[in-house]
Structure 1
Amino acid sequence: MGHVRDDFKAFRVRRKAMMKEKNARRRGYDEEIFLQLPDKTTLDPQVALYFQTCETSYRVLHEPSFWREYQAFWERRSNEESLTPFAAILLYILAITKCLQPNDGNIFVGDSSVDRDTALDYIETCDMWLQRQSRKQTTLTFFQLQCLSLLAKRYNSLKLKQDWTASGDIIRLAIAAGLHRNPSLLSRGRITEFEKEMRRRVWLTIVEMELQGSIDCGLPSSACGLYFDVQPPSNLPDETFAADTTQIPAGRPIEHFTSTSYLIVSLRSMPLRLHLLQLLNNPTTELQYSDVIHYDGQLNAMLTTLPIWTDPRAEIPTVLLKLQLLQFLLILHRPYAEFATANKRFSFSFTACIEATSAIMSLHEQLLGKNILALNHLRNDALRAGIALAQTTYHNCFHASPAECREPPNHKDFIHPVDVGAASKQQRLEGAPELKIPQLPTDSLLSATLCSTAVNLLEKVRQLFENKVMRLGTGYMEYFLLCSAQGIMPGLNQDRGTSIASITNATADDLRSRGRKSLERVTSLCFRVLALQKEPADSLVNSLRQNVTVPSPITPASSHGPSTGPATGAQLYGSSLGGGGLVGDLPTIIPGTGAMASALNEGKDLGVGDGAFDDLDMQVDLSGWTFPDFWNFDMGSAV
């Protein structure tokens, strides 16, 4: 595990250095945009996919106007300066849609998928060009490009550490340009009706993206306390107005779905969401439980009043409207749900967390069942739900008396950190508190049932997040956290008749088996990524096969004595992984990369089940060389 972690980190550093070198050669010239742009046959399905997914919720472009300009662009294809903004829009669209569909032939360059790496190259090229454009006269096209740039990064999970500042910069530019004010009050007679309508759409799109970015980062939103009097956009299909329209038609009832309906409905809950964001991000807020119940009622009331659309295009916006309200239920109730066993009053919060998480998972599974990956890539619902479930379940399994509800539990009383620098296992354990793992509550059937449900939901969360990792090639640390969270969950086969006093600690074997299972999940995913590497000219797979030997089935080494069988996990890695810890108890069989590569060539499935690859296990002799040796190939061809 230590090698996997260090080598993935080293490869990422190397990859970033190569990207930095590539960016140093960029100048942001128009020619660079046109050189990256593929042919029309490649772009046609990607542009259609963009309008079927992104433009049904966040509104950036006017579809009929876009298609007219799109046709004209290919008819007079040239490197004219006037065509560059539209060419940049096309390149951003291509970056947005690069990973929005399942790819059975998905391959990786290091830790990142090739599709995501290609999207990053498109984004860097357009961003460099966009930075060279003047900000003195910010046109509608300028803001459309800014929105597409932010969406492209979010859909591919790129530059997330810069997301809050980037979205804040866009909303400030919009405020400076007056997008937050009623367009009828600005520049009378100089703004067409078409531009007024598009400004309303783009403004609300910018605010929604900035608001969600603030929630994900846990930071204040620039829209909190901001006065804006721009009217909501009209609930109209794009076909009902054009650039030469002198009067916008009357909007249709909200029950009639159009591509702008999401923004109109979402605006209704925006004041509450902004208020909750400001409230929850303030460390000095003294939120009473009665306030939590009050806001719970408001959020659920808005959930029940959401319109029901039958239009097939409404699937993504309908799910998005629900997710942005359900996430606040999790944030509100989690601190109180942790004490449900100790204080029966908070059982409602535990139930609310389970229901909210179950609803979130069902919504995402509904989309994934139809091969719609957009919202799983765009949002962090899986990670938020998984951490909330783990924290809530863990604390409720240790609250045995009502007195413990007065203060949050001291984690050091239950989990003793492993001192990896100790000379021996005996020295580490002498004088240390007994190691404990959670057990289902025995004095409350409701709490035990909720904990069991949470454990089952956590497995769904892990699988959902694994889909994101394997498509994009990012989120490995978050996946490790989710696997670790599963490792400290209570077992579901506990005897209900056993008293909690008799289950005071877990044996070393229990702890080792839990750690082994969590590590298997992580390493199995990492080996899948390794097996799906893009083959260079010298054939990475052939190199792997030369270092792989096929063993006969073996049994993992016993924890009660030295192994007489094949090498241990530490020996396979050629080190002691820091000289301490439960090294000798790692699985003796590491998922074989050569076996997975062979299975791929034979068309076999590499789906990860509940542990390592049962049919593909191979013992790999890694002594004398490390994982970077796998990756000494030319990454320049990956983009």
Structure 2
Amino acid sequence: MKETADEWLKPVKAHDRKDRKKRKEDRDKFYLQPDAQLESLLPPKDHCDALVEVYIDQFEQMHRIIHIPTFRREYSQFWENPTESRYAALTALVLAICAVANCIHTHESLRFTGMISNAHSTAEKWIKAVEEWQSRQSMKHRKLIHYQVACLLYLSKRVNTVKKKRFWTNSGALIQDGISVGLHREPSHMSGKISVYNQEMRRRIWATVQEFDMQASFDHGLPTLVSQLHYDVQPPRNLDDEDFDEDTTQLPPSKHGKEYTYSSYQNLARQSLPLRMELSRLLSGPPGEVDYDQVIRYTNDITHEIDSLPSWEHNNNNTHGGKRPLLAYTLLHIQLRQYIIPLHQPFLKLRKSNAKYQYSEIIYYNAARDIVLLHDKLYEQGIRCLNFLREDALTTAVNLCSVTMLQPRGSTNMIMINSQHTVKLLEKCLSMKEDRLLRCGNTEPWGYSIMCSALGLLEAHLGTKTTEQAKASSAERFVNLHYKLLANQEPPVSSQQTELSRIPGLEVAERAKVSIIPGFVPTTAAAAAALSSSSPSLSLSSSSFEQLLTHLSKSVTPFSFQGYPASSASQNTVDSLLPQPLPWMPTSIDPQAAQSFNPDFSLEALGLNLNELWGESWDFS
């Protein structure tokens, strides 16, 4: 065929021949081009530096995605010589890193639009821009940095809770992309063109996407894609990034597991991977296929894996930018202990019919308790990344509440004896959840309310509060959080303002109410007439006045104060939006006082409504 083509097409200059060298030069030239749209989204250098440090200091000690010395060198040139070093892929990488760390970084003043913090909104904007850039890249000619960007995008979505129902499909897509380029195969057995540096980075990227998929599968109760996959790639070596670089020709041997490095988590997590994959297949399979003897055996296997983990010296975790063995230690323990809870959950209710299942109650309780205590140790060190990456605060709060409420009142078993300690554990869970919501915003309206309800149920079950008091305290905690969010609102621009602008004379009346008669709200037509006569520019028809009166009479709080409806005139100051002693709480005089709800309450009086507060969080996508 080639000879025929040369014979017939070459004489008429129709013969086409691939110039591979020129094509590669064109691709390299295109790769080095900047992207003005991405660059326009970059934060100021000082802010960007802080976000990069937060990411490296915390996330890179769990999931290895970048080679830190190489990245720091390129990042330095990124700002010092932007005309030559700011190519689009590196800009996308920096934006993705910033999106991961933006909500965790301590901002001086957090502002909210509805229930979403500005830090979360900015992170979402960066995620969307990088996703759009990534979708335009060739699937055939991808470099290491493209897979690093993909991993960072997934990580940023988990941290910022962006489309959480797609976490499992997104992690599966990362696995599929990795398989398509052979990340699951040992790179040293492949073509000799792969450098030693790229071989180790391929192992790290594969270990990262594998852990992403394992956790997403556990969270969703769905099978992992790697459970039936044959792979021969070796685990990442227990090495610090300073131990090798792009010019390394022979990789140093892996350090001992008791010596902590930035790659210790990935190296040790691989040891328990076969057991976790077997548990994933079991728990995501048809129910009822496991008997109690198997549950005991798996529990012993998990305990054995936990006992084999090294206990590094993690007392010096306050050093900024230093190694944090406590972070890797916590994640290694949690990702094993989490499987104990679903293993024993089906047997909790069988305790009443057979005493042998008491072991399940105790091991279930201990696993949930230990997960909370491990997270609490991290919070004492100011490490928030694991709480933002996982939903342990919510799940363990529900687990502790459910297993304690199964115990009969007045029992002297271990769980009931520790019941007051359990209440403190739930308080810790709520504090962790509140910290996350006050940084990201309440993107999930019901998660926090479930935790408040769980605490109230437990307090009522233990008898420390009456049912009405427990209900009231749960409601108080939930509403107090939203008071904090509302107190830090950006000036709202809502559709409600547009609707109110259609009421004739409303703007003039609002101005007159403040400037002419401060604190006075007209309640009769005569009062309105007096107000009109005092201001020649104000003229209201009777129908317009009725609309105005309906709007002005609405209270900005949903509850009556001491049995009387709260007037809007008393709520016109900013102080009314700040946390105050809540009026529906039972008083010391009448502890059984019922909540008195104000039927005229309207969120529109705050310039907000539920759809604007929670936005797309109602969407089930």
Bucket of the pairwise TM-score, normalised by the shorter protein: 0.7 to 0.9
Pick aligned residue for 2:449 from 480, 488, 498: 480
Give the equivalent residue in structure 1 for 2:289. Answer: 286
Query: Corresponding residue for 1:266?
Result: 269
In 2, Cα distance between equivalents of 1:250 and 1:596: 67
| Structure 1 residue aligned with 2:133 | 129
Amino acid paired to 1:351: I
Residues 123-522 of structure 1 aligned to structure 2 (within 5 Å): 123-187=127-191, 189-310=192-313, 312=317, 313=323, 314-397=325-408, 440-442=409-411, 445-446=413-414, 448-449=416-417, 453-473=421-441, 474-489=443-458, 491=460, 494=463, 510-522=466-478
Deviation per residue, 1:528-572 (Å, 9 max, x gap): 21112124699x9xx9x98x99xxxxxxxxxxxxxxxxxxxxx96
From the superposition, tell whether residues 62 and 131 of structure 1 become closer, same or farther in structure 2 (CA, over 3 Å).
same
Change (3 A) 1:596 1:181: farther
Question: What is the count of residue pairs matched by the alignment?
Answer: 508
Deviations 1:77-107 (A, max 9, x none): 1388x71100111101111111113446222
For the 8 Å contact 2:67–2:241, the answer to whether it is kept is yes
Structure 1 residues 588 and 236, CA gap change in structure 2 (3 angstroms): farther
Alignment check: 8 A CA contact 2:99 2:124 kept = yes
Counterpart CA distance in 2 for 1:586 and 1:476 is 29
TM-superposed deviation, 1:123: 0.6
Residue 80 of structure 2 is aligned to residue 112 of structure 1 = no
Q: Are the structure 2 counterparts of residues 342 and 447 from structure 1 closer, same or farther at C-alpha, using a change threshold of 3 Å? A: farther
5+ residue gaps in structure 1?
1-28, 398-439, 496-508, 550-570, 577-582
Partner residue, 2:22: none
Alignment of 1:529-548 (within 5 A): 529-535=485-491
1:329-368 CA distances to partner (integer Å, 9 max, x unpaired)?
Answer: 2222222234435532222221112222221111111111
CA distance in 1, matches of 2:237, 2:607: 56
* Equivalent-residue separation in structure 2 for 1:511 and 1:624 (angstroms): 25
Segment of structure 1 superposing worse, 524-533 or 96-105: 96-105
Change (3 A) 1:186 1:530: same
Aligned residues of 2:102 and 2:119 also touching (Cα < 8 A):
yes
Decide whether the 8 Å contact of 1:333 with 1:349 is kept in 2: yes
Q: Which amino acid aligns with 1:319?
A: T
Q: C-alpha offsets along residues 569-625 of structure 1, whole Å, 9 cap, x if unaligned? A: xx968999xxxxxx99999999x9979954999xxxx6999x9799xxxx9989474
Taking structure 1 as the reference length, the TM-score comes to 0.72
Residues 442-487 of structure 1: CA deviation (Å, up to 9, x unaligned):
4x54453255554443333223222222221133311111122223
Which structure has the larger Rg? 2
Given that 1:101 and 1:371 are in contact with CA atoms closer than 8 Å, whether structure 2 keeps it comes out as no
Report whether the alignment pairs 1:98 with 2:94. no
Task: Give distance in 2, aligned partners of 1:164 and 1:69.
Answer: 32
In 1, Cα distance between equivalents of 2:101 and 2:137: 25
Distance 1:318 1:600 in 2: 42
**1:450 & 1:589 partners in 2: Cα distance?**
43
The percentage of counterpart residues that share the same residue type is 31
Mapped partners of 1:224, 1:344: distance in 2: 35
Shift of 1:145: 0.6
The 1:574–1:38 alpha-carbon spacing in structure 2 relative to 1, beyond 3 Å, is: closer
Tell me, in whole angstroms, the C-alpha distance in 2 between the residues paired with 1:119 and 1:69: 22
Separation in 2 of the partners of 1:595 and 1:370? 41
> 2:499 is matched with which residue?
none
For 1:96, what is the secondary structure of its paired residue?
A: helix
Q: Which deviations, in whole Å up to 9, do the C-alpha atoms of 1:185-214 show, x marking residues without a partner?
A: 222x21111100100011001100111111
Q: Is the 8 A contact 1:338 1:350 kept in 2?
A: no
Residue 57 (structure 1) aligns with: 62
| Secondary structure at the counterpart of residue 36 of structure 1 | coil
Tell me: CA distance 1:612–1:191, structure 2 relative to 1, closer, same or farther (3 Å). Answer: farther
Partners of 2:161 and 2:206 in 1: CA distance: 23
Cα distance in 1, alignment partners of residues 556 and 98 from structure 2: 41
Are residue 75 (structure 1) and residue 86 (structure 2) matched? no
Could you say if the C-alpha distance between residues 59 and 628 of structure 1 is closer, same or farther in structure 2, counting changes exceeding 3 Å?
Answer: farther
List per-residue Cα deviations over 1:502-532 (Å, max 9, x = no partner).
Answer: xxxxxxx954443333222222222221112
Equivalent residue, structure 1, for 2:26: none
Distance 2:158 2:165 in 1: 11
Distance in 2, matches of 1:518 and 1:367, equals 26
Once residues 207 and 128 of structure 1 are traced to their aligned partners in structure 2, the CA distance between those partners, rounded to angstroms, is 24
Q: Quick check: 2:558–2:598 contact (8 Å CA) kept in 1?
A: no
SS in 1 for 2:178: helix
Q: For residues 575 and 372 of structure 1, do their structure 2 counterparts lie closer, same or farther at Cα, with a shift above 3 Å needed?
A: closer
* CA–CA separation in structure 2 for the residues paired with 1:385 and 1:512: 25
Task: Give the aligned residue type for 1:176.
Answer: S
Deviations along 1:383-420, one digit per CA (max 9) or x if unpaired, are 111222232233334xxxxxxxxxxxxxxxxxxxxxxx
SS in 1 for 2:607: helix
1:483/1:360 CA distance change after superposition, 3 Å? same
CA 1:446–1:148: 2 relative to 1, 3 Å: closer
Task: Give the Cα–Cα distance (whole angstroms) in 1 for the partners of residues 491 and 406 of structure 2.
Answer: 47
Taking the aligned partners of 1:573 and 1:126, their CA distance within structure 2 comes to: 41
Residue of structure 1 in register with 2:537 after alignment: none
Structure-1 separation of matches of 2:570 and 2:190: 63
Paired position in structure 1 for 2:19 = none
CA distance 1:153–1:493, shift in 2 (3 Å): closer
Q: Map Cα deviations across residues 261-284 of structure 1 (whole Å, 9 max, x no partner).
A: 110100011111111111011124
| Contact 1:521–1:612 (CA under 8 A) maintained in structure 2 | no
Instruction: From the superposition, tell whether residues 79 and 155 of structure 1 become closer, same or farther in structure 2 (CA, over 3 Å).
Output: farther
Partner Cα distance (1:123, 1:148) in 2? 9
In structure 2, the CA distance between the partners of 1:100 and 1:347, relative to structure 1 (3 Å rule), is same
**Contact 2:340/2:364 (CA < 8 Å) preserved in 1?**
yes
Other-structure match for 2:603: 626
Contact 1:53/1:374 (8 A) holds in 2: yes
Deviations 1:153-207 (A, max 9, x none): 11111121111111110110001110000112222x2111110010001100110
Relative to structure 2, which stretch is displaced further, 368-377 or 344-353? 344-353
Moved more, 116-125 or 484-493: 484-493
Tell me the SS of whatever aligns to 1:488: helix
Q: Larger relative CO (CA 8 A, sep 6+): 1 or 2?
A: 1
